[in-house]
Homo-oligomer: A and B are copies of this chain.
Amino acid sequence: MARNGKLATDLVQKLERDIVTGVLKPGDKLDERSLSERFGVSRTPVREALQTLAGSGLVATMPRRGTIVASITVADLIEMFEVMAELEAMCARLAARRMARVDVEKLLALGGECDKLQEHADADAYYEANVNFHEVIYAGCRNSFLERQTKNVRNRLAPYRRLQLHRPGRVKKSNAEHAGILEAISTGDAERAAKLMHQHVAVQGEALNDLLAIVPRGYLEPLAS
Residues of A participating in the B interface, judged by any CB pair closer than 8 Å: 1-6, 9, 47-48, 51-52, 54-57, 60-63, 76, 79-80, 82-83, 86, 90, 143-146, 149, 153
Contacts and interface: CB of A to CB of B under 8 A. Distances in A.
Give the secondary structure class of A's interface.
Answer: helix
A147 to B, nearest CB: 9
A61 B145 contact: no
Contact of A146 (B4, B48, B83, B144): B83
Given A48-B51, A146-B79, A2 B86 contact: no
Contacts of A61: 2-4
- Say how many copies of this protein the assembly contains: 2
A80 to B, nearest CB: 5
Nearest to A2: B54
Closest 10 interchain pairs by CB? Answer: A55-B55, A2-B54, A79-B145, A51-B51, A79-B143, A83-B146, A2-B55, A3-B63, A80-B145, A86-B90
